[in-house]
Amino acid sequence: MSDSTRKVALVTGGTRGIGRATVLRLARDGHDVAFCYASRPDSAAEVEKEVAELGVRVYAHRADVSDPDAVRALVAETEERLGVIDTAVTSAGIVRDQALLMMADEDWQQVLRVNLDGTYHVCRSVVFEMMKRKSGCVINISSVAGVYGHATQTNYSASKAGIIGFTKALAKEVGRYGIRANAIAPGFIETDMTAGLSDKVREQAIRGIPLRRLDRPEEVADMVSYLVGAEYVTGAVLQIDGGLVV
Ligand code: NAP
């Protein structure tokens, strides 16, 4: 068991995009950080190295968030190595876009399993220790698709709307134990998830954004950092989308 007095954060999907930026931001803020990833040990090793250079402890663990046993093991191992988790950020997520009539059942189920079940598995695993200590912070990464819906993303939009309902219910359930639960709803962020957009779709997207650019993952990580310190904010859904949906 750890004897560090630093706060401990767990971030899912920490090898790339928003999760990676969040791992680095929370490390810069002085947290010891554990993160999980699905399939890229090389990227995990890079992130581990970058975090270690910031002078905090880091623990990378391969764990599929859609698997409850894997998440339980991730949380147990993090607590063993770094100490009890103060902040959990669920960023692991996938897309499998398709028009509803063309949607394969597997693509529906897999998106719900990773995005929504994964969020549940993490929160289910961390909240008991937080309740015992009467302190904790959960931040779930949703999407503007979960607030407004995106065509060809019925699966993804449903999963992200589910995360919002889940987070609000959790905030009401655990607030009296000193635990805060909030969601962030990003718009278009420059990550691997949006790298596959065609030039045409990207241009259309940018035309629809009043600030006329995609967001950087580091700007979402800034919002995570804000929420970690925002002692009177819970049950909120903070949108970060350059004005895409106002
Ligand atoms: P990304 O660049 O595609 O990175 C996804 C991360 O999640 C990777 O670290 C990946 O690990 C991990 N991951 C994927 N499936 C996993 C699983 N089953 N178990 C554990 N880890 C898994 O994604 P991103 O764009 O940063 O998105 C992060 C979150 O923000 C997602 O929830 C996404 O829905 C949400 N979001 C993104 C945007 C956007 O425009 N990018 C907008 C709104 C919301 P590996 O590296 O090992 O594959």
The predicted-structure confidence for 96-145, as pLDDT tens digits, reads as follows: 999 999 999 999 999 999 999 999 999 999 999 999 999 999 999 999 99
Q: Whose CA is nearest to atom 24 of ligand 1?
A: 17
Ligand 1 pocket residues where CB is under 6 Å: 12-19, 36-40, 43, 64-66, 91-94, 114, 141, 143, 186, 188-189, 191-194, 217
Q: What is the mean pLDDT of residues 73-100?
A: 98
| Ligand 1 atom index nearest CA of 65 | 19
| Interval 192-240: pLDDT, tens | 999 988 899 899 999 999 999 999 999 999 999 999 999 999 999 999 9
Average pLDDT over the chain, rounded to an integer: 97
DSSP string, the chain: -----S-EEEEESTTSHHHHHHHHHHHHTT-EEEEEESS-HHHHHHHHHHHHTTTS-EEEEE--TT-HHHHHHHHHHHHHHH-S-SEEEE---------GGG--HHHHHHHIIIIIIHHHHHHHHHHHHHHHHT-EEEEEE--HHHHH--TT-HHHHHHHHHHHHHHHHHHHHHGGGTEEEEEEEE-SBSSHHHHTS-HHHHHHHHHTSTT-SPBPHHHHHHHHHHHHH-TT--S-EEEESTTS--
- Enzyme catalytic residues: 156
Q: Whose CA is nearest to atom 39 of ligand 1?
A: 189
